[in-house]
Amino acid sequence: MSPQATSKQQAPKILHTHHSAYRCFDAEETRRFWEGIMGMELAAALSFDHISGTDEKLDYMHLFFKMGDGNFVAFFDLPDHMRPELFKIRSGFVRHIAFEVATEAELETFAKRWRDAGLQVTSDLDHSFVRSVYTFDPNGIQVEILWKEPKYGEILAGAKGDVDRSMKAWNEKTKARKDAYRKAHAA
Ligand SMILES: [Fe+2]
């Protein structure tokens, strides 16, 4: 069901992400990438034998890797629930995590660290407002390191000014396709 606005009252302002969580194949291998290569400290490695708040038995580990701003990237290692398709590389450009560095030199350092670790730098793109390099972590998750180019603020302000026109044009362009999909997949 499509979400509807529930209240005219303004929603509280979300401060920032605290963590985003993903499934990992192996805690140790995941640590080698996220701590060893990406430089994020493994701040917690919590081992559980049942699902919180229930009696359901499940062995799992919850890992938290810390970024410079105190936020985390988290993983779950569930050894009894591993299926190869869960760790396949997905279509990267529609599903990835982007991390910001302060300088272009640091972006290049990350690209080098990935290559030195035997990983592929899958793209190095100048998006005109940010430059981005991409790779994949051991769990098939695309990772982006970005550096804000000097025109970042100006270009983003222009994009903000264009939001309503752009949304209207997109909705009109794709309406027939979306309607056809909804009709075909109606419950
Ligand atoms: Fe991105």
Percent of the chain with pLDDT over 70: 96
pLDDT score for 1: 56
The rounded distance, in Å, linking the Cα atoms of 56 and 52 is 8
Q: What is the pLDDT of residues 36-82, one digit of tens each?
A: 999 999 999 999 999 888 888 999 999 999 999 999 999 999 998 88
- Topology, domain 16-87: 2,3-Dihydroxybiphenyl 1,2-Dioxygenase; domain 1 (3.10.180)
- 105 Cα–ligand 1 center, Å: 19
Distances (CA, A) of 7 to 3, 10, 13, 101, 102: 12, 8, 15, 37, 39
Across the range 113-134, mean pLDDT stands at 95
Tell me how far the alpha carbon of residue 175 lies from the centroid of ligand 1, in angstroms: 26
Among 72, 89, 95, residue whose Cα is nearest residue 21: 72
Give the SS3 label for residue 13.
Answer: coil
Domain chopping of the chain, boundaries: 16-87
pTM of the model: 0.84
Q: What is the mean pLDDT of residues 85-101?
A: 85
CA 68–ligand 1 middle distance (angstroms): 19
How far is ligand 1, taken at its centre, from the CA of residue 96, in Å? 7
Ligand 1 centroid, distance to 100 Cα (angstroms):
10
What SS3 state is found at 116? helix
From CA 123, how far away is CA 129, in angstroms rounded? 16
Q: How far does the centroid of ligand 1 lie from the alpha carbon of residue 169, in Å?
A: 23
pLDDT at 139: 92
181 alpha carbon – ligand 1 mean position (Å): 27
The pLDDT value given to residue 6? 64
